Amino acid sequence: MTPTLSTDKSVLSWASTLEPAAMDQARRTASMPFVVKPLALMPDAHLGKGSTVGSVIATEGAVIPAAVGVDIGCGMAAVETRLTSHDLPDYLARLHDRIRSVVPAGVGRGHEQRDVDVMQVVTRAPSTELSDGQLRTARTQYGSLGSGNHFVEVCLDERDRVWIVLHSGSRGIGNQLAAHHIAVAQGLMKEWFISLPDPDLAYLVAGTPQFEAYVADLLWAQAYAAANREEMLRLVVAEAEAELGAEGIETSRVNCHHNFTQQERHRGRTLWITRKGAIQADAGRLGIIPGSMGTRSYIVEGLGSAASYESCSHGAGRRLSRSAARRTLSVASLREAMEGRSWNAAEAERLVDEHPMAYKDIDEVMEDQRDLVRPVRTLSQILNYKGT
């Protein structure tokens, strides 16, 4: 679609479906003096905390920690295999159970016994000296999924090829580091008597010790998140190979962040590009755009759109908040939507807020961003594992 420029020219939106409150929120973020206008809203955009989920925010001389969010480095990973549906059993319940046995999921869940030195796994050093408790959290949650919309899926593409796809981030340790730096930024705003349109737009100024400390911790958390996804893929692929009696099934892999900030060159300037629920889509880069657990997902190739700061959506985007979904959607309709798939059916009551109807239509989202990405593969879920 042709993106729409807001009346004040501060926001450029690719979203054909967008709640007015989300646009108002995006305008507030764009009003910050260091934000390069227009702010770009992806087609999956929806109301978030501080800044709109689905925002691409270009800044000069400052970053907003809450715009990156508390799940630093959250993203997607996918493995293409040489298997087809003919290599799979008629029922995937046993594979679902095997995945569940090796990948802990849920709020605060991790591996009870984990003998891994995460400071060796993630070789980049954080600025914050992690406490014994934080190191324990990072160690036990390494290789775990989390909750909410995080998932492991087995999918078939349009060629009948089997894919393993997962969505997760930096878990509890990323949340703790992010919360610390958000609090630091908010404290500085009070110290400097700076009034903000939203407290979660508190920022850190480039060149200050607080800014440098945040960036170091952010890069470490991003690396932890990527390593966490790699570890889960290792565990899941091994279980799939054992269950199916196959070896060496992987043929290719894609891994991408969608909550992060980094310096990039755009419009002749070096800017900080914060993607809050958006992925990098420079020309030729492969990415993953998931739909809801009952629809489709896409492997895409970036088209390098200058207008979007070479970005695209990170998923379908929520249509209903979690509380609204629980109020208006039913367990019965969720079971109907998930018919024919292996999933956490016994926990359906606790997954109503992840109902496919709580999300925007993924095909509409993909149509909205035809100028941002090109679909390479279309994936249909046959197994979905979520934390509750």
The CATH number linked to 133 is 3.90.1860.10
Query: What is the structure's pLDDT at 60?
Result: 97
Dihedral sign from CA coordinates of 207, 208, 212, 218: negative
Return the percentage of the chain with pLDDT > 90, whole number.
93
Query: What is the structure's pLDDT at 364?
Result: 96
Q: What is the 3-state secondary structure (H, E, C) of 156-202?
A: ECCCCEEEEEEEECCHHHHHHHHHHHHHHHHHHHHHCCCCCCCHHHC
Query: What is the structure's pLDDT at 358?
Result: 96
Provide Rg for the chain, Cα atoms. Answer: 20
In a domain, 129, yes or no: yes
- Beta carbons within 10 angstroms of residue 209's beta carbon: 9
Nearby residues of 65 by Cβ (< 8 Å), 6 or more positions away:
178, 181, 182, 184, 185, 202, 203, 204, 214
The Cα–Cα gap between 1 and 244 comes to 43
Residue listed under structure tokens 């260091």: 34
In a domain, 80, yes or no: yes
In a domain, 328, yes or no: yes
Catalytic residues: 314
Strand partners, 161: 84
Burial class (CB in 10 A: 0-12, 13-18, 19+), 53: buried
In a domain, 122, yes or no: yes
Q: Looking at the predicted structure, is the pLDDT value of residue 114 above 90?
A: no
Query: What is the structure's pLDDT at 204?
Result: 98
In a domain, 278, yes or no: no
Q: How does pLDDT run across 282-338, given as a tens digit for each residue?
A: 999 999 999 999 899 999 999 999 999 999 999 999 999 999 999 999 999 999 999
Query: What is the structure's pLDDT at 294?
Result: 87
Q: Looking at the predicted structure, is the pLDDT value of residue 86 above 90?
A: yes
The Cα–Cα gap between 49 and 145 comes to 22
Query: DSSP for 220-272?
Result: HHHHHHHHHHHHHHHHHHHHHHHHHT-S--EEEEEEEESEEEEEEEETTEEEE
Q: How does pLDDT run across 11-31, given as a tens digit for each residue?
A: 999 999 999 999 999 999 999
Q: What is the pTM of this model?
A: 0.95
pLDDT band, residue 118 (cuts 50/70/90): confident
- The residue-averaged pLDDT of 176-196 equals 97
Query: What is the structure's pLDDT at 116?
Result: 84
Residue listed under structure tokens 């090829």: 161
Q: Which domain holds residue 175?
A: 74-255+283-301+314-386
Query: What is the structure's pLDDT at 206?
Result: 97
Domain count for the chain, please give it. 1
DSSP 72: T
Q: Looking at the predicted structure, is the pLDDT value of residue 113 above 80?
A: no
Per DSSP, the three-state class of 377 is: strand
Query: What is the structure's pLDDT at 244?
Result: 95
In a domain, 36, yes or no: no
Nearby residues of 62 by Cβ (< 8 Å), 6 or more positions away:
32, 34, 203, 204, 205, 206, 211, 272
Query: What is the structure's pLDDT at 333?
Result: 97
In a domain, 1, yes or no: no
Q: Looking at the predicted structure, is the pLDDT value of residue 387 above 90?
A: no
Query: What is the structure's pLDDT at 50?
Result: 84
Q: Are 130 and 138 spatial neighbours (Cβ–Cβ below 8 Å)?
A: yes
Query: What is the structure's pLDDT at 54?
Result: 97
- The residue-averaged pLDDT of 267-292 equals 97
Q: How does pLDDT run across 230-260, given as a tens digit for each residue?
A: 999 999 999 999 999 999 999 999 999 999 9
- The residue-averaged pLDDT of 107-136 equals 88
- The residue-averaged pLDDT of 145-167 equals 96
Strand partners, 279: 312
Beta strand 11-13 with 35-46: parallel, antiparallel or unpaired? parallel
Question: How far is residue 264 CA from its own chain's centroid?
Answer: 20
Query: What is the structure's pLDDT at 373?
Result: 98
- The residue-averaged pLDDT of 181-185 equals 98
Query: What is the structure's pLDDT at 302?
Result: 98
* Mean per-residue pLDDT of the chain: 96
pLDDT band, residue 201 (cuts 50/70/90): very high
Query: What is the structure's pLDDT at 121?
Result: 85
Rounded to 5 degrees, φ, ψ at 276 are -100, 95
Q: For residue 357, give Cα distances in angstroms to 22, 166, 292, 325, 340.
A: 19, 20, 8, 8, 17
Per DSSP, the three-state class of 128 is: coil
Query: What is the structure's pLDDT at 92?
Result: 96
In a domain, 250, yes or no: yes
